[in-house]
Amino acid sequence: MAERFLVEAVNDALHVEMERDPSVLVMGEDVGRLGGVFRATVGLQERFGADRCVDTPLAEAGILGTAVGLCMAGWRPVCEMQYDAFSYPALDQLINHVGRYRWRTRGTMSFPLTIRMPYGGGVRAPELHDDSPETYYVHTPGVKVAIPSTPADAKGLLAAAIRDLDPVVVLEPKLHYRTTKEDVPEGEHVVPLGEARVVREGSELTIVAYGAMVHVAEHAADALDGEASCEVLDLRSLKPLDEDALFASVARTGRAVVVQEAPRVCGFAAEVAAVLAEKAIFDLRGPVVRVTGYDVPYPYWQIEDAYMPSVERVVDAARRALAA
Amino acid sequence: MSRVLPAEGGLRRVIGDGEAIPDGEVAGLGQDDLLQLYRNLVLLRTYDERSVIYHRQGRIGTYAIFWNHEAMQAGSAFALEDRDWIFPSYRESAIGLLRGIPASTILSWWRGHPSGWWSPAEHNVASICVPIGTHVPHAVGFAWGSRLKGEDRVAIAYFGDGATSEGAVHEGATFAGVTKAPVVLFCNNNQWAISTPLSEQTAAPTLADKAIGYGMPGVRVDGGDVLAVFEATRDAVLRARAGDGPTFIEAVTYRAAPHATADDPSIYIDRERVEEERENECVGRYERYLVRLGVLTDSQAEETKQEALAVMRAGIAEAEAERSADVGLVFEHAYADPPPSQAHDLAELRRILGHG
């Protein structure tokens, strides 16, 4: 074990996986010489050369589009999108090709590419450096999505994504890139996709969260200590979704609050609520309550805290769920 | 050759008109090559003409016509080795015929049957790309990635004049220039994007002029002259193999048929110009050239056409004999390792359909 920040765990995973598999290639804007604007790729170009850690032109659709071709030539590209909202120009390639090409070849070609990007708000950044775009990715057939909340999971989920034969999008909570150091296993460390993690056990309410919102959920559970026993479930993968973990938790607690940072409409919390309504409604003793961002453009950073799901809002939602 | 200059002004031509314009020839092409090129042209032409008929007979679905684009496709493909990869748009749907993809497979694609979705690595022909120009970065990535692996493979991407307005073509070409990818960007400029003429597509004097912005040579060639297309592509392929990077080829023609079977060009197109083009269509031009050269006789030409017709008759029969696809193929191949919900969805669908 080594104590690492989340972004250092990402960097560690990239080193380990590039060492392990010579077909892994990192590409993106400023990932080589600079080591990435968040330093997630620092040291890779020195270690593996400019052909395997590639500074690309500033063109996200070009990055993802050429990555499709690189897969066809036998590479496993790991594409960095510099920021969440900068990934939107690449959605064309993602939807039209990345998610479809395997199907288009009737399974004869695989597209084992990984897209990783810092996501989310709370970092006092200019416009379009704060988005939570997971729904666009989860909604795209053929694409898997993982979102770590801890350094160890950041390493393990990224390793799983790189090794997966399907394209995987990994969203890294940039707010927590350098908040706390935690123990991260050294060497190879894989957290399988599709396995949620019970962060803390409880008996009266499940708070479902992923990414940066796991920390908010934990603080809310602390705040409710003595008032209600809260379980916190970190989904870790949005697709595949660990439905069994969700059902098992709700079977224990009978109530659920789902927290997401993204705007509410058709967000992932809606999917969780729908799955619970369809398949676990008889375990529920009250409505599933969502705590989300609002249906507005991500706000000016001086008032961004009002947008972000806060401990107070989660506690408020938990009380409503418990009272119903 | 490696210097980047504004595109050549005139169109490269080899084939004359039998009168004032003298015939040229391409060094390195023997009589067998010339006849093979003719067979390739005739096969593509026959595929296209039969497909329009099959569509009218209700035997294939909507079909993107490539009549008079055959010289661009056959000429350029003839400059490639089998190990080189072709990235077609829907306009080049049948280019795989020249690599041994059966006619039945391509007809099945237009019939919406899963057997039409071929395995790209089997013939080094990528899947048909429908969203305009978005496969250009794929060809570039493939060529770049192959070179990084030390493999001697060139890629060629086909796209139309309208595609040059797409961001994906711009980004792909930018990457090609920077990575010096061994790729040929082949633009078939038929001067129409469905109903939008080139003059409303761009203010650039020529499409090949765009190449200078990407740091690669731009070449203009007569798209109806199969030998000129071959020669220009061969130059580009040699350049790519030598490590000198990509080339942009603009092959100029005029669309003399509808965009697709659902299109009615009489609303917008210049009919006189279409007539002129039809009289000078590319297969006939090459045929007359070969006859003037004494390489092809009328009976050989007829035999070639009958052979191609037989290929198509067998192809459509085979495509129509395909068993209807199992609904499991709705789900299969979407993921290497599908989410558990898929098995559940398929089981439920089978139950409702009464499949047990």
Q: Return the structure tokens found at B234.
A: 């061969």
* Residue B247 distance to chain A (closest CA, Å): 17
A192 is a domain residue: no
* Record: contact B134-A108, CB cut-off 8 A: no
Q: What is the mean pLDDT of residues B114-127?
A: 98
Phi and psi angles of residue A232, each rounded to the nearest 5 degrees, phi first? -115, 125
For residue B133, which residues of chain A lie inside 8 Å, CB to CB?
none
Q: Are residues A143 and A10 in the same domain?
A: yes
For residue A67, which residues of chain B lie inside 8 Å, CB to CB?
141
A189 is a domain residue: no
Best mutation target among B138, B174, B329 (most A Cβ atoms within 10 Å) is B138
Q: Are residues A50 and A143 in the same domain?
A: yes
A262 is a domain residue: yes
Q: What is the pLDDT of residues B27-69, one digit of tens each?
A: 999 999 999 999 999 999 999 999 999 999 999 999 999 999 9
Q: What is the pLDDT of residues B79-98, one digit of tens each?
A: 999 999 999 999 999 999 99
Residue B150, pLDDT > 60, answer: yes
* Record: contact B155-A57, CB cut-off 8 A: no
CA distances in angstroms from B252 to B13, B66, B195, B249, listed in the order given: 11, 14, 17, 10
Q: Are residues A97 and A138 in the same domain?
A: yes
Q: Are residues B189 and B302 in the same domain?
A: yes
Q: Are residues B331 and B277 in the same domain?
A: no
| The dihedral sign for the CA sequence A178, A182, A185, A190 | negative
Q: Are residues A139 and A93 in the same domain?
A: yes
> Predicted confidence band at B178 (pLDDT cuts at 50, 70, 90)?
very high
> Predicted confidence band at B9 (pLDDT cuts at 50, 70, 90)?
low
Number of separate domains in chain A: 2
Q: Are residues B336 and B248 in the same domain?
A: no
User: pLDDT at position A324, please?
Assistant: 87
Q: Are residues B304 and B332 in the same domain?
A: no
Report the CATH number at residue A303: 3.40.50.920
> Predicted confidence band at B1 (pLDDT cuts at 50, 70, 90)?
very low
Number of separate domains in chain B: 2
Residue B116, pLDDT > 80, answer: yes
User: pLDDT at position A273, please?
Assistant: 98
Report the CATH number at residue B120: 3.40.50.970
User: pLDDT at position A2, please?
Assistant: 95
Q: Are residues A225 and A143 in the same domain?
A: no
Q: Are residues A151 and A96 in the same domain?
A: yes
A191 is a domain residue: no
Q: Are residues B319 and B333 in the same domain?
A: no
User: pLDDT at position B168, please?
Assistant: 98
Q: Are residues B137 and B53 in the same domain?
A: yes
CA distances in angstroms from B72 to A167, B285, B293, listed in the order given: 35, 13, 21
Q: Are residues A22 and A87 in the same domain?
A: yes
* Record: contact A102-B336, CB cut-off 8 A: yes
Q: What is the pLDDT of residues B253-280, one digit of tens each?
A: 999 999 999 999 999 999 999 999 999 9
Last residue in a domain, options A163, A184, A205: A184
For residue B114, which residues of chain A lie inside 8 Å, CB to CB?
106
A164 vs B: CB within 8 A: yes
B21 is a domain residue: no
Radius of gyration of chain A (CA): 19
**SS3 of residue A99 by DSSP:** coil
B12 is a domain residue: no
Q: Are residues B115 and B176 in the same domain?
A: yes
A window 265-294, beta carbon within 8 A of B: none
B3 is a domain residue: no
**SS3 of residue A64 by DSSP:** helix
**SS3 of residue A137 by DSSP:** helix
A window 229-248, beta carbon within 8 A of B: 239-241, 243
In chain A (324 residues long), the average pLDDT of successive 10-residue segments reads 97 98 98 98 98 98 98 98 97 98 98 98 95 98 98 98 98 97 98 98 98 98 97 98 98 98 98 98 97 97 97 98 94
* Record: contact B339-A68, CB cut-off 8 A: no
Q: Are residues A156 and A211 in the same domain?
A: no
* Record: contact B126-A89, CB cut-off 8 A: no
B2 is a domain residue: no
Q: Are residues B289 and B340 in the same domain?
A: no
Instruction: Write out the H or E segment, with its range, that includes residue A77.
Output: strand A76-80
Buried b (16+ CB within 10 A) or exposed e, A201-227: ebebbbbbbbbbbbbbbbbbbeebeee
Residue B5, pLDDT > 80, answer: no
* Record: contact B175-A51, CB cut-off 8 A: no
* Residue B346 distance to chain A (closest CA, Å): 15
Global model pTM greater than 0.90 = yes
User: pLDDT at position B10, please?
Assistant: 77
Residue B121, pLDDT > 80, answer: yes
Q: Are residues A95 and A214 in the same domain?
A: no
B15 is a domain residue: no
Count A/B contacts: CB-CB distance under 8 Å: 149
- Chain B nearest-CA residue for A58: B171
* Record: contact B145-A239, CB cut-off 8 A: no
- Chain B nearest-CA residue for A66: B141
B20 is a domain residue: no
A164 is a domain residue: yes
Q: Are residues B162 and B124 in the same domain?
A: yes
A104 vs B: CB within 8 A: yes
B354: Cβ–Cβ under 8 A, 6 or more apart, which residues? none
Q: Are residues B214 and B349 in the same domain?
A: no
Q: Is the ipTM of this complex over 0.90?
A: yes
Q: Are residues A219 and A303 in the same domain?
A: yes
Report the CATH number at residue A20: 3.40.50.970
Percent of chain B with pLDDT over 90: 95
Look up residue A303 and give its DSSP letter: G
Q: Are residues B110 and B121 in the same domain?
A: yes
Of B120, B139, B174, the CB nearest to A109: B120
**The domain containing residue B347 runs over which residues?**
326-356
Last residue in a domain, options A161, A184, A207: A184
HEC assignment per residue over chain B? CCCCCCCCCCCECCCCCCCCCCCCCCCCCCHHHHHHHHHHHHHHHHHHHHHHHHHHCCCCCCCCCCCCCHHHHHHHHCCCCCCCEEECEHHHCCHHHHHCCCHHHHHHHHCCCHHHCCCHHHHCECCCECCCCCCHHHHHHHHHHHHHCCCCCCEEEEEECHHHHCHHHHHHHHHHHHHCCCEEEEEEECCEECCEEHHHCCCCCCCHHHHHHHCCCEEEEECCCHHHHHHHHHHHHHHHHCCCCCEEEEEECCCCCCCCCCCCHHHCCCHHHHHHHHHCCHHHHHHHHHHHHCCCCHHHHHHHHHHHHHHHHHHHHHHHCCCCCCHHHHCCCCCCCCCCHHHHHHHHHHHHHCCC
Distance CA A61, CA A29 (A): 12
Q: Which residues of B are catalytic?
A: 255, 259, 268
Q: Are residues A205 and A100 in the same domain?
A: no
Q: Are residues A104 and A232 in the same domain?
A: no
* Record: contact A62-B174, CB cut-off 8 A: yes
> Predicted confidence band at B129 (pLDDT cuts at 50, 70, 90)?
very high
Q: Are residues B309 and B353 in the same domain?
A: no
B6 is a domain residue: no
**The domain containing residue A153 runs over which residues?**
2-184
A204 is a domain residue: yes
B1 is a domain residue: no
